[in-house]
Amino acid sequence: MLESLKKMFSGNEGDMPVSTGSKPDISREKSAELYEKAKNYFPGGVNSPVRAFKSVYGTPLFIQKGDGCFVWDADGNQFIDFCGSWGPLILGHNHPKVRDKVTEVMQNGMSFGAPTALENELAELIIKNNKFVEKIRFTSSGTEAVMSAIRLARGYTGKDKIIKFEGCYHGHTDSLLVKAGSGLVTFGETSSAGVPKSFAAETIVIPLNDREAIKAAFDQFKDQVAAVIIEGIPANNGLLMQDVEYIKYLENICKENKALLIFDEVITGFRLGFEGAAAHYGVKPDIVTYGKIIGGGLPVGMYGASAEIMGHISPDGGVYQAGTLSGNPVAMAAGIAQLTELLRSGFYKELNNKASEFAESIQRFATARNYKLKVFHVGSIFWMAFTDKDKIQSADDIDPASMEKFKVLHRELLNRGIYIGPSGYEVGFVSAAHTKIELEKAKRAILESLDVVFRNK
């Protein structure tokens, strides 16, 4: 090995694996059996589409248990998990503090449909430590939080149209299941059957990272736009990091046009830091939505804003929004336990350092081997993209053909005990439960797998 190469890997010989070739497939017998059964009960055998492994090899794995950074499937295979239930599990699986609090609270009953002190407790944890929200409302999912935030923006401004960005996901509410048509500024075309064209006509879809497009949208629909909605850092279609100047531009153009800026922080909230992407950029969105991490693995969403804006929500105001299980005590308990851990001093610093070291060491290897791979990362979120572009900031920058490489990577990783989301458009998450030892193991597995991916490059 070249001396200079060795140095790149901080003197650690273990960083340079020898190519071991494809590994034999792990057994998926039990998972396959369960999947066959599930197909009788659920469309595609699943209760959320991406779980069906449609864009990767083989049947989906049925997970039996999780602990720390590990999950085990029905066949007894063990994996280091970087999916983390798609984001919520920032402390890892089955964290004792979360489990204990939930177990304690559930002894007193599961749901009352009446206020409980636990709602106050979680709200206080959030509002005291977050300068972007003065009043909040809990929901049971991220989708619900976003749907309600949109209604609030419309009710507050008295305007109907919404601007969204191609490449941002905001849950499955009708008016946001839209994609761009052709042209710079377009009405959305529905991206799902069953969404009326007339709903999509209220949503304007524009590319990310494009000042002309948003300017043109505001010009064309003068005084009709209630809100601009953007993911704090778009992380549902690759990791599309935006320049802070651009986000500030959005903030200003919203103000000029008396439209609200909605930050959908369902992934980034409590992930990049306790105050999410808004603090990361130093901008002040008018409405913020949270989900995923806030519920510690149980179903919780939330939207919040200034007391003045939130005053428009019923029963104080005229914007109706409700939920039988909203503020559910067991879910609140999980949220309280998890967020309490996140507030410990140094939590994010340690996690984010660990994650960036991990991402950067994979990048160094890929660069040294001349592999066309970029590991984009922010906080404890990472995304491996098969590209040689230095920046990927809009949906159009992603080459769909590169997903063939991801397919190979995914299979090789599973066969080496690494579980990541079953789609090349999905990001990965490092949790506090990933120790340096496991990250080192995972890194080796990733490097070996990359050797297989690029074997015939």
Ligand X SMILES: *Cc1c(COP(=O)(O)O)cnc(C)c1O
Binding site for ligand X (CB under 6 A): 141-143, 146, 169-171, 231, 236, 264, 266-267, 291-292, 301
> Can you give 51-109 as a three-state secondary structure string?
HHCCCCCCCCCCEEEEEECEEEECCCCEEEECCHHHCCCCCCECCHHHHHHHHHHHCCC
CB of 51 to ligand X, least distance (A): 12
CB closer to ligand X, 365 vs 383: 383
Question: 372 catalytic, yes or no?
Answer: no
- Specify the residue, 71 or 146, whose C-beta has the smaller distance to ligand X: 146
Name the residue nearer to ligand X (CB basis): 207 or 276: 276
Q: How far apart are CA 375 and CA 382, in angstroms?
A: 7
CB of 240 to ligand X, least distance (A): 12
Task: Give the integer Cα–Cα distance in Å for 138 and 123.
Answer: 9
Q: Look at residue 412 and give its three-state secondary structure.
A: helix
Retrieve residue 354's tokens. 């660990």
Looking only at Cα atoms, what is the longest distance across the chain? 70
Active site residue 354: no
Distance (Å, whole) CA 17 – CA 447: 7
Q: How many CB atoms lie within 10 A of CB 391?
A: 13
Classify each residue of 203-222 as buried b or exposed e, where b means 16 or more C-beta atoms within 10 Å of its C-beta: bbbbbbbbeebbebbbeebe
Contacts of 161 (CB under 8 A, 6+ apart): 202, 203, 204, 221, 224, 225, 226
Nearer to ligand X, 264 or 412 (CB): 264
Min dist CB 146 to ligand X, Å, is: 5
Smallest distance, Å, CB 291 to ligand X? 5
Q: Which residue, 139 or 190, has its beta carbon nearer to ligand X?
A: 139
**The one catalytic residue among 156, 169, 290, 303:** 169
How far is the C-alpha of 381 from the C-alpha of 265, rounded, in Å? 13
Compute the least distance from the CB of residue 233 to ligand X, in Å.
9
Pick the catalytic residue: 73, 264, 286, 451? Answer: 264
> Counting Cβ atoms within 10 Å, is residue 163 exposed (0-12), middle (13-18) or buried (19+)?
buried
Pick 267 or 334: Cβ nearer ligand X: 267
Residue among 146 and 337 whose Cβ is closer to ligand X: 146
Specify the 3-state DSSP secondary structure of 168: coil
Q: What is the DSSP letter of 243?
A: P
Are 287 and 260 spatial neighbours (Cβ–Cβ below 8 Å)?
A: yes
Amino acid type, 324: T
- Read off the tokens for 233: 């850092």
Q: Which residues contact 171 (CB under 8 A, 6 or more apart)?
A: 141, 142, 143, 144, 145, 146, 147, 266
Least distance in angstroms from the C-beta of 229 to ligand X: 9
Residue 169 annotated to the active site? yes
Long-range contacts, stretch 437-442, CB < 8 angstroms, 24+ apart: 438/69, 438/80, 439/354, 439/357, 439/358, 440/14, 441/80, 441/417, 442/80, 442/82, 442/358, 442/418
What minimum distance in Å lies between the beta carbon of 234 and ligand X?
Answer: 8
Nearer to ligand X, 66 or 297 (CB): 297
Shorter beta-carbon distance to ligand X: residue 102 or 277: 277
CA distances from 90 to 95, 134, 270, 351, 440 (A): 10, 25, 9, 9, 19
> From the CB of 81, what's the least distance to ligand X, in Å?
17
The active-site residue, picked from 159, 161, 292, 354, is 292
CA distance 191 to 177: 5
The structure tokens listed for 296 are 């510690």
Active-site residues: which are they? Answer: 169, 264, 292
